Amino acid sequence: MLARKSIIPEEYVLARIAAENLRKPRIRDRPRKARFIAKNGACNLAHKNIREQGRFLQDIFTTLVDLKWRHTLVIFTMSFLCSWLLFAMMWWLVAFAHGDMDPSTENAANSTKWTPCVTCVRSFTSAFLFSIEVQVTIGFGGRMMTEECPLAITVLILQNIVGLIINAVMLGCIFMKTAQAHRRAETLIFSRQAVIAVRNGKLCFMFRVGDLRKSMIISASVRIQVVRKTTTPEGEVIPIHQVDIPVDNPIESNNIFLVAPLIICHVIDKRSPLYDISAADLALQDLELIVILEGVVETTGITTQARTSYVAEEILWGHRFVPIVTEEEGVYAVDYSKFGNTIKVAAPRCSARELDEKPSILIQTLQKSELSHQNSLRKRNSMRRNNSIRRSNSMRRTNSSLIVPKVQFITPEGSQSASET
Which of 122-131, 134-143, 145-154, 268-277 shows the lowest per-residue confidence on average (mean pLDDT)? 134-143
- pLDDT surpasses 50 at 418: no
Instruction: Name the residue with higher pLDDT: 46 or 81.
Output: 81
Kindly tell me if the per-residue pLDDT of 411 is higher than 60.
Answer: no
Residue 58 predicted with pLDDT over 70: yes
Distance (Å, whole) CA 273 – CA 245? 8
What is the pLDDT of the chain when averaged over all its residues?
A: 79
- Parallel, antiparallel or unpaired: strands 255-256 and 325-328: unpaired
- CB-based contact 94:159 (threshold 8 Å): no
- Work out the average pLDDT over 244-248: 83
Length of the chain: 421
CA nearest neighbour of 284 among 362, 351, 199: 351
Q: Which of the residue ranges 10-24, 126-140, 336-350 would you say has the lowest mean pLDDT?
A: 10-24
Residues contacting residue 135 through CB under 8 Å, at least 6 positions apart:
80, 83, 84, 87, 159, 160, 162, 163
Predicted confidence (pLDDT) per residue in 342-392, tens digit? 999 888 888 888 888 887 776 666 656 655 656 666 677 777 777 777 777
Kind plus residue range of the DSSP H or E element containing 372: helix 360-402
* Range list for CATH 2.60.40.1400 in the chain: 184-361
pLDDT confidence tier of residue 47, bands split at 50, 70 and 90: confident
In which residue ranges of the chain is CATH 1.10.287.70 found?
67-179
Contact 306, 41 (CB under 8 A): yes
The pLDDT of residue 106 is: 58
Q: Tell me which range, 96-110, 236-250, 383-397, is most confidently predicted by mean pLDDT.
A: 236-250
The pTM score is 0.65
Residue 32 confidence (pLDDT): 61
* Better-predicted residue by pLDDT, 313 or 61: 313
| pLDDT at 190 > cutoff 90 | yes
Q: What is the percent of the chain with per-residue pLDDT over 70, rounded to a whole number? A: 77
Distance CA 57, CA 62 (A): 9
In this structure, which CATH number among 3.40.50.2020, 2.60.40.1400, 3.40.50.460, 3.40.50.10610 belongs to the domain 184-361?
2.60.40.1400
Count of Cβ atoms closer than 10 Å to residue 350 Cβ: 17
67-179 maps to CATH 1.10.287.70:
yes
User: Could you give the CA distance from residue 271 to residue 112 in angstroms, rounded to a whole number?
Assistant: 95
CA distance 255 to 219: 6
